[in-house]
Structures are given as structure tokens and as C-alpha cells.
């Protein structure tokens, strides 16, 4: 049994949904399903009960989950000890959002100054996974935005930013000084793919189910509005490109900038990163 396949299995077992697990793992659903079927062949028994009502663990799957978590924990611990013995210190950081954020710039400068021997590996994430691959252990810590499912994660808020409606500049609503969600009723919105964290999806859709083009990146959001006349939300202080405008939304809570990591991770580099982030954003 490969460690990668075990990580896939744990993701499905924790999400109990192949679509959400695939999004969490940054992969498509068909290869994930094939990997789980291969693991079931190796185990000699089904690991999941699949029905129209959803997915659930079989008794064999529950045992496999305990063993898989134990094996993956040992593997991660071994990698950390070997890296420490070799003198290699790295921290993989997931990023979602504006790379020109002054808070992120201060954080990068401060962390480099306090950890000159640590190699920071950066991983840009698209909008389908607000944890930036954290649950799949693709990153050690993430600098991102809420809300999302925080189970098993440690989260610290760094800042809250007001949001607005992103509209074409020639949209009649673009002439307004402010808008409420009721003003956007019945409009098509850009939305995220199936399997995207429901809390994240709901926030950026204004708390309601929406119809409209599926997007995965900030640029795709903007193009969906420009080409199709859809609407959506964006940060109020983000300068829109030509042809678009942002109007403040008065009844939406602000978007939270957060630093997040796996709650059980004791890596001292992560703890130091979090302390530095709190100081950089609040300074």
C-alpha cells in the first residue's frame, strides 16, 4: 500500500464524499475513485458503503482509517527527523489571495529575517480549496481566507476586509453608492465547482444557492463578469480591471484573512510562522 493512496483514502474517509475529497486533494474524481478501488482490492474487502444517500465507512474501512492515520503520522515524523538530521529546514506555505497584500509582504520580510536558514516553499492555491492543500498535507501552513470547515485545524484571524459586488461598469447597479444582497436577487453569479467547501461556497455566493459559470481563479471570476454580465463578490479594496467596478455590499460580513495549520502539528517552524504573522498583520 502506497502512502499516497493511504492519504487519498483518509481524505475520502474524513469527507465521506468523493467530490469534496478530490477538491481537497487537488485532483479530479475519476483517478481518486480508481485509487480507492485498488486499495479495496489490496485489502480484500470494501472500505466504503456507497449508496444514493452518500458514502459511509464499512467496519473494515474503520480499521483501515485507524491504521492509515498511524502510518501517515509515522511517515511524516520520519521525514521531519531525517530532514533535521540532514540540516535541511523547509516550510511549505500555501497562499490564497493577493500576493501584493502589505501584510503578507511584511510577514515575508520578518520571517526571512528571523529564520535566514529556513527555505520557504510557496504554493499558490486556486479558489476551490481555501485551505490551500493543508488537509492533504501538501502544505505545512496556509495564509488564506475564511470561512471554511475548521474541523481538525487551528485558525488565527489576522484581519477582516470589507467586500463589494463585482459588476460590469455598464451595469445599471454600478451607478449605486452601495448595494444590499436583495439588490442582486435573480442575477447570475460566478460560482465554484461541486465539492468546494460548502461554507466557503456559501459565503462567496452571498449565503444563497446561485446559478452561473463555474470558476476556479480570481482572473476567471473577473472574466465571467466581463464576458457574461454575471455578478459576484470581491474585496472592496481590490482595484478592478478596465470595464469592471466594485460597489460596497452593506449586509455582508467582511472577509477574514487567516493563518491556518493542522491542529496536531507540533512543528516549531509553524508556531514561529504564526507568531510572526500575528505581529506582521497587527503591526
3-state secondary structure the chain: CCHHHHHHHHHHHHHCCHHHHHHHCCCCHHHHHHHHHHHHHHHCCCCEEEECCEEEECHHHHHHHHHHHHHHHHHHHHHHHHHHHHCCCEEEEEECCCCCCHHHHHHHHHHHHHCCCCEEEEEECCCCCCCCCCCCCCCCEEEEECCCCCCCEEEEEEEEECEEEEEECCCHHHHCCCECHHHHCCCCECECCCCCCHHHHHHHCCCCCCCCCECCCHHHHHHHHHHHCCEEEEECCCCCCCCEEEEEECCCCCEEEEEEEECCCCCHHHHHHHHHHHHHHHC
More confident residue, 76 or 94: 94
112 and 70 in a common domain: no
271 and 138 in a common domain: yes
Q: Residue 125's pLDDT is what?
A: 87
Residue 162 has pLDDT above 90, yes or no: yes
70 and 103 in a common domain: no
261 and 131 in a common domain: yes
> What is the residue range of 78's domain?
3-84
Q: Residue 27's pLDDT is what?
A: 82
Lowest-pLDDT range of 79-83, 226-230, 259-263, 275-279: 79-83
Residue 255 has pLDDT above 90, yes or no: yes
180 and 122 in a common domain: no
pLDDT tens by residue, 116-127: 888 899 998 889
Residue finishing a domain among 60, 84, 108: 84
* Average pLDDT value for residue range 107-113: 90
* Average pLDDT value for residue range 122-134: 91
25 and 40 in a common domain: yes
71 and 15 in a common domain: yes
More confident residue, 220 or 86: 220
More confident residue, 100 or 156: 156
Q: Residue 85's pLDDT is what?
A: 58
270 and 144 in a common domain: yes
Residue 100 has pLDDT above 70, yes or no: no
Q: What is the CATH number of the domain that holds 130?
A: 3.40.190.10
CA 277, CA 202: separation in Å to the nearest integer? Answer: 27
> Confidence band (pLDDT; 50, 70, 90) for 268?
confident
Q: What is the CATH number of the domain that holds 53?
A: 1.10.10.10
Residue finishing a domain among 46, 62, 84: 84
Cβ(156)–Cβ(258) below 8 Å: yes
The total domain count for the chain is 3
> Confidence band (pLDDT; 50, 70, 90) for 80?
low
263 and 206 in a common domain: no
Q: Residue 21's pLDDT is what?
A: 86
69 and 25 in a common domain: yes
220 and 107 in a common domain: no
249 and 167 in a common domain: yes
Residue finishing a domain among 57, 84, 111: 84
Q: Residue 79's pLDDT is what?
A: 62
Amino acid at each position: 500500500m502506497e502512502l499516497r493512496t493511504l492519504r487519498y483514502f483518509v481524505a475520502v474517509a474524513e469527507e465521506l464524499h468523493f467530490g469534496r475529497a478530490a477538491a481537497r486533494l487537488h485532483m479530479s474524481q475519476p483517478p481518486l475513485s480508481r485509487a480507492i478501488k485498488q486499495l479495496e482490492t489490496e485489502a480484500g474487502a470494501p472500505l466504503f458503503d456507497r449508496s444514493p444517500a452518500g458514502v459511509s465507512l464499512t467496519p473494515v474501512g474503520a480499521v483501515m482509517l485507524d491504521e492509515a492515520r498511524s502510518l501517515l503520522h509515522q511517515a511524516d515524523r520520519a521525514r521531519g527527523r531525517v530532514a533535521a538530521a540532514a540540516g535541511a529546514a523547509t516550510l511549505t506555505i500555501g497562499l490564497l489571495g493577493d500576493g501584493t497584500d502589505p501584510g503578507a509582504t511584511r510577514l515575508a520580510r520578518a520571517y526571512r529575517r528571523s529564520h535566514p536558514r529556513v527555505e520557504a516553499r510557496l504554493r499558490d492555491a486556486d479558489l476551490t480549496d481555501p485551505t490551500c492543500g493543508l488537509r492533504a498535507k501538501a502544505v505545512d501552513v496556509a495564509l488564506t481566507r475564511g470561512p471554511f470547515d475548521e474541523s481538525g485545524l487551528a485558525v488565527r484571524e489576522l484581519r477582516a476586509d470589507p467586500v463589494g459586488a463585482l459588476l460590469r461598469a455598464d451595469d445599471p447597479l454600478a451607478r449605486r453608492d452601495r448595494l444590499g444582497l436583495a439588490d442582486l436577487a435573480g442575477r447570475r453569479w460566478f460560482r465554484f465547482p461541486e465539492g468546494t467547501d460548502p461554507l466557503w461556497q456559501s459565503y462567496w455566493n452571498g449565503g444563497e444557492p446561485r446559478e452561473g459559470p463555474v470558476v476556479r481563479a480570481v482572473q476567471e471570476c473577473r472574466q465571467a463578469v466581463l464576458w457574461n454580465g454575471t455578478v459576484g463578490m470581491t474585496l472592496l479594496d481590490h482595484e478592478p480591471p478596465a470595464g469592471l467596478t466594485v460597489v460596497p455590499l452593506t449586509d455582508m460580513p467582511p472577509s477574514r484573512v487567516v493563518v491556518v495549520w493542522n491542529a496536531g502539528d507540533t512543528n516549531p517552524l509553524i508556531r514561529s510562522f504564526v507568531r510572526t504573522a500575528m505581529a506582521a498583520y497587527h503591526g
